[in-house]
Amino acid sequence: MSRLIKQGRIIEDNWQAPDADASVTGSHQILDLEQWLALEDKAGRAVMLEPGQAPAPLFDHLGDIPLVAVNFPVFTDGRGFSYGRELRERGFSGELRACGHFIRDQMTYLHRCGFDAFQMAEESGLEEAVASLADFSEHYQAAIDQPLPLFRRRH
């Protein structure tokens, strides 16, 4: 089983990565967007977004989805940051997982955009990566982790 960082701790993953050929019936199978869209009953089913797959189709089902994974095939493509934040802003409260080739130096931003789970392509650096979540203790902007901008909190 692969490992990942969730809510600041390293845990074992119990979800299966998406696979276009996999049977879509397994309860812990993450689906790709196409598979997920085709489902009649979406309750309890997890989905992964790729860059270019904006989260709008998910908005009507946010209460049914336990996990949204956002894939980062290359770490310089920042579309997923907006996807995460939009999902949270619209009330998604399940697991929001960053997957793929993001780097630990991005984790503090990802976390601010609402991601609470980090599945890195390279698992060896997970322990060190956890530390990156604490790079900053203060922020100017409102975001998911801190819904008030600094100017509403300064004293």
Residues contributing to the site for other proteins (CB under 8 A):
51, 54, 75-79, 81-83, 85-86, 89-90, 103, 105-106, 108-110, 112-113, 135-143, 147-152, 154
**Complex with other proteins: residue 63 or 147, whichever CB lies closer:** 147
| Residues 64 and 43 sit within 8 Å (Cβ to Cβ) | yes
CA distance 133 to 98: 14
CB of 28 to other proteins, least distance (A): 29
Token output for 98? 């960053």
Q: Which residues contact 25 (CB under 8 A, 6 or more apart)?
A: none
CB of 87 to other proteins, least distance (A): 12
**Complex with other proteins: residue 15 or 70, whichever CB lies closer:** 70
CB of 125 to other proteins, least distance (A): 8
**Complex with other proteins: residue 43 or 150, whichever CB lies closer:** 150
CB of 153 to other proteins, least distance (A): 9
CA distance 118 to 102: 9
| Residues 36 and 68 sit within 8 Å (Cβ to Cβ) | no
CB of 39 to other proteins, least distance (A): 25
- What separation, in Å, do the N-terminal and C-terminal C-alpha atoms of the chain show? 47
**Complex with other proteins: residue 2 or 82, whichever CB lies closer:** 82
**Complex with other proteins: residue 51 or 94, whichever CB lies closer:** 51
